[in-house]
Amino acid sequence: MILPKNRFSRREFLRGAAVATLAAPFVSRNLFASPPSETILHASIGASRQAGSDLQLIAHHPFVKLVAIADVDSTKSAPWKEKFPGVRIYQDWRELLEKEKQLDTLNISTPDHMHAPIAMSAMQLGKHVYVQKPLTHDIYETRQLTNVARQKKLVTQMGIQIHSNSAYHQAVQLVREGVIGKIMEVHSWCGKGWGDPASLPDRRDTPPDGFNWDLWLGVAAGRHFIGESYYHPQNWRKRLDFGTGTFGDMGCHIFDPVFNALELTAPASIRSEGPSPNQWNWASDALVRYVFPGTKHTAGETISVMWYDGVKRPPQEVLSLVTIERLPGTGSIFVGTKGVMLLPHISRPRLFPADQFADFQLPAVEDGNHYTEFLEAVRGNGKATTNFDYSGPLTEAVLLGGVASRFPDTTLQWDSKALKFQNLADANALLRRKYRKGWDVEGLS
């Protein structure tokens, strides 16, 4: 049997969902959120690629007014003036926050290393935020954002838009209803390879016109610009100081239905059995073993959840449980006591053995709109389902895999409450980074 192509391409899903540097460090004020007027006043931090998609889908809602855009590359933000006359353009997000005091919401759609500084600065001003995945670059940042969002009663949403897709809702329902029994283990993978074994190129290049390299670096340590897309606009995902590798890029997506279905909490231990990063870049071909406390949906007191990326895949004894000719490039296999579920990213779940479930009808579930859900929650209607109380712990677990990759073949015992590893002090040093001088942010620095 050949696995059918995904019914929902990313482009189709998103289409369907649509209905000057400051010298001093940014100091935010301790304000609480206030309800917006009938019209939500919104700003986007970022103007192209994922940021362009996010701001387009948010700004076209009938009750949203796009007020401002900040992007370190002025060539990316300028074209939006034609689509949204009157929108104000900035290069420095700190200047935007200082001047646009009336804002209700922001989307933060930047490289990973700037998610937390921008989101925290906005939240300290009482702004509701939609933040792209992974929520932050470092685990301490995640915990701090989660705590502040809860304290200030802010509406938050992490940009894992497939969480609102009907296919993922179906998978969660199937697991929680026990259709394949209690879950014994889960295997998740992604074929992307955001890694680079090479050394740092020994050269200095001139940033392109309109691009502010210092603003792009933000809280990261200073260094020379390297052209040919080494950092900007996309290969930053491979670099330790800016991205979070393949796992950080896709883990929050792929682990989402696993966490949601099983109602997982923090892992008890993490072990990397793949290659470690070098001094500058993440590695590809990860293999990370998690042990989580069991839940009412699992078969034992603990449950093993595995992550593979690049060329790595689940072992043959697991793959043999799903009788298909071609494994999807990204997805998860849930192994239950009464059956097995294959959940491709992004497509309908499939149940095995095939003959056992030949007449089984998947539950009827409608697609949701991740952006509308966030905006309606800001207006007081409903709740954002990937708010930081949910997406914070999810992000922490994903980022723990990156930390574990620095210590291959070592089982790290994790104390989530204390936010530290119990058995390796060197690993604790990677939970929080020091921000560059002049880039202090209240609540993070």
Per-residue pLDDT tens over the stretch 393-419: 999 999 999 999 999 999 999 999 999
Whole-number Å distance between alpha carbons of 130 and 136:
12
How confident is the model at residue 42, as a pLDDT? 98
**Residues 166, 251: Cα–Cα separation, whole Å:** 19
Beta strands in 320-393 (DSSP E): 330-336, 340-344, 350-352
Q: What is the dihedral of CA 138, 144, 148, 154, to 10 degrees?
A: 20
420: which strand partners?
A: 415
What are the angstrom distances between the C-alpha of 206 and each of 209, 210, 226, 228, 441?
9, 12, 8, 11, 29
Token pair in block for residue 17 = 């969902």
Measured in residues, the chain has a length of 445
DSSP assignment of 377-414, as one string? HHTTSS--TT-HHHHHHHHHHHHHHHHHTTSTT-EEEE
Give the pLDDT confidence of 364-395 residue by residue, as tens digits: 999 999 999 999 999 999 999 999 999 999 99
More confident: 26 or 173:
173
Mutual angle of helices 50-59 and 370-378, in 10-degree steps: 50
Q: Is the dihedral of CA 130, 135, 138, 139 positive or negative?
A: positive
For residue 147, is pLDDT > 90?
Answer: yes
> Over 70: is that where the pLDDT of 32 sits?
no
The two tokens of residue 200 are: 């740092």
| Confidence bin at 234 (pLDDT 50/70/90) | confident
Give the confidence band of 8 by pLDDT, cuts at 50, 70, 90. very low
CA quadruple 172, 174, 177, 183: dihedral positive or negative? negative
Mean local confidence (pLDDT), 151-159: 98
**What is the rounded average pLDDT of the residues 10-23?**
35
The torsion angles phi and psi of 130, rounded to 5 degrees, stand at -110, 115
Percent of the chain with pLDDT over 90: 91
With a threshold of 0.85, does the pTM exceed it? yes
pLDDT (0 to 100) of residue 38: 81
- Confidence at 325, pLDDT banded by 50, 70, 90: confident
Residue type, 178: G
Give every CB contact of residue 11 below 8 A, 6+ residues apart in sequence. Answer: none
C-alpha Rg value of the chain to the nearest Å: 22
136/117 Cα distance (integer angstroms): 9
| CA nearest to 93, candidates 140, 129, 65 | 129
pLDDT band at 12 (very low <50, low <70, confident <90, very high): very low
Per-residue confidence band for 35, with pLDDT thresholds at 50, 70 and 90 = low
Helix axes 388-404, 139-152, angle to 10 degrees: 170
For the chain, what is the mean pLDDT?
92
Q: Which residues contact residue 83 at a Cβ distance below 8 angstroms, ignoring those fewer than 6 apart?
A: none
State percent of the chain over pLDDT 70.
92
Give the whole-angstrom CA distance, residue 259 versus residue 270: 16
Q: In this structure, what token pair is assigned to residue 144?
A: 């701090």
**Joined tokens for residue 173:** 């329902």
Residue 264: how many CA atoms within 13 Å on its side-chain side?
32
- Whether 26 shows a pLDDT value over 70: the answer reads no
Average pLDDT over residues 424-429: 97
Distance, in Å, from the CA atom of 401 to the CA atom of 248, rounded to the nearest integer, reads 9
Does residue 33 surpass a pLDDT of 90?
no
Separation of alpha carbons 315 and 427, rounded Å: 28
